[in-house]
Amino acid sequence: MNVDALIANKKSWNEAAPRFYGRNPLPEYGPLAPTEDELQLIGDVTGLKVLEIGCGSGHSLQYMDQKHAGELWGLDLSTKQIESARDLLKNSRAPVQLFESPMEEDPGLPQHYFDLAYSVFAIGWTVDLDRTLANVHRYLKQGGVFVFSWEHPLFSRIASQDGTFVVAKSYHEEGSFDHEAWQETAIMQQFRLSTYLNVCIQQGFSIERVVEDVSLTDEMLKNQTNRWYSYEKAARIPTTMIIKCRKI
């Protein structure tokens, strides 16, 4: 496990936390992507024990509380994010347990316990995908569901040059990279879609659904011009991948 990358990412997220406070939580799965309201990948969470991997400022857990989840659990690498989440969720209806921890490490979460685990646009920060998914598998009950989203692996490989979209980097190349749209120094991971699917399968998950759709409206056209997730690019290339799998 790349400890140096974890240290760099923790520092980066502590610096970036105010910029991402409350940004794009559930029911959103990612920029210009269909929402949980449309997809119903998670569905009814009434009474369920739920765990968020990369819980950020806690707004997706707040969404789960509003949907009457039974228990709210979350982990995040960033001290600042966990502090924000604790403050946000202090008056939650459901009991809350938050852990400041990398997703690659088990901070003492109960095993074979959770009905649902999910991760919204966070999984690409792992420095060890196999270890992270093995942890999630161990946390879930038999038959438990894991839903996660991340930037589609093709999106950063395609660039706009002089009004034309070109392949700027090989889709087959995997590993660590510095994301050009990220302001702070940080290490993210690039994997092919097939790698995410195959690691899920190898760790004991059954793949139930893969979503690569985009959701584009005229309002988005006005708001997304000249941004990393631009309307023009999203009309041609999916911005987000969403994967639903189940522990078998």
Beta strands 96-100 and 71-76, pairing class: parallel
User: Domain count of the chain?
Assistant: 1
- Looking at residue 221, its pLDDT comes to 55
The answer to whether the CB of 9 falls within 8 A of the CB of 77 is yes
- Looking at residue 219, its pLDDT comes to 63
Inform me whether the pLDDT recorded for 143 exceeds 90: yes
CATH number, residue 28: 3.40.50.150
- Looking at residue 227, its pLDDT comes to 75
The answer to whether the CB of 190 falls within 8 A of the CB of 127 is no
* Residue 57 CA from chain centroid, whole number: 13
The model carries a pTM of 0.94
- Higher-confidence residue of 51 and 233: namely 51
- Looking at residue 178, its pLDDT comes to 74
Q: How far apart are CA 82 and CA 45, in angstroms?
A: 23
Range from 46-55, 100-109, 220-229 carrying the lowest mean pLDDT: 220-229
Average pLDDT over residues 35-43: 97
Assign 223 a pLDDT band (cuts: 50, 70, 90).
Answer: low
Nearest to 103 by CA among 117, 85, 115, 87: 117
**Farthest-apart Cα atoms in the chain, separation:** 53
Strands, DSSP E only, in the chain? 49-53, 71-76, 96-100, 114-120, 140-151, 158-161, 164-167, 175-177, 188-190, 205-211, 240-247
- Looking at residue 218, its pLDDT comes to 66
Q: For the segment 152-161, what is each residue's pLDDT rounded down to a tens digit?
A: 999 989 988 7
Token pair, residue 201, equals: 């399968």
The answer to whether the CB of 100 falls within 8 A of the CB of 6 is no
Q: For the segment 151-190, what is each residue's pLDDT rounded down to a tens digit?
A: 999 998 998 877 789 998 999 999 987 766 677 778 888 9
Beta strands 114-120 and 140-151, pairing class: parallel
Coil, strand or helix at 51 = strand
Q: Return the percentage of the chain with pLDDT > 70, whole number.
A: 95
- Looking at residue 14, its pLDDT comes to 95
- Looking at residue 228, its pLDDT comes to 82
Q: Return the percentage of the chain with pLDDT > 90, whole number.
A: 78
38 HSE (CA, 13 A, CB side): 11
**Domain carrying residue 11:** 3-247
Inform me whether the pLDDT recorded for 241 exceeds 70: yes
Inform me whether the pLDDT recorded for 70 exceeds 90: yes
- Looking at residue 177, its pLDDT comes to 79
Assign 35 a pLDDT band (cuts: 50, 70, 90).
Answer: very high
- Looking at residue 216, its pLDDT comes to 85
CB atoms within 10 A of CB 220: 17
The answer to whether the CB of 103 falls within 8 A of the CB of 135 is yes
Nearest to 52 by CA among 108, 121, 129: 121
Token pair, residue 188, equals: 């993210």
Average pLDDT over residues 130-148: 98
Average pLDDT of the chain is 93
Token pair, residue 227, equals: 């941004």
**How many residues are listed for the chain in this entry?**
248
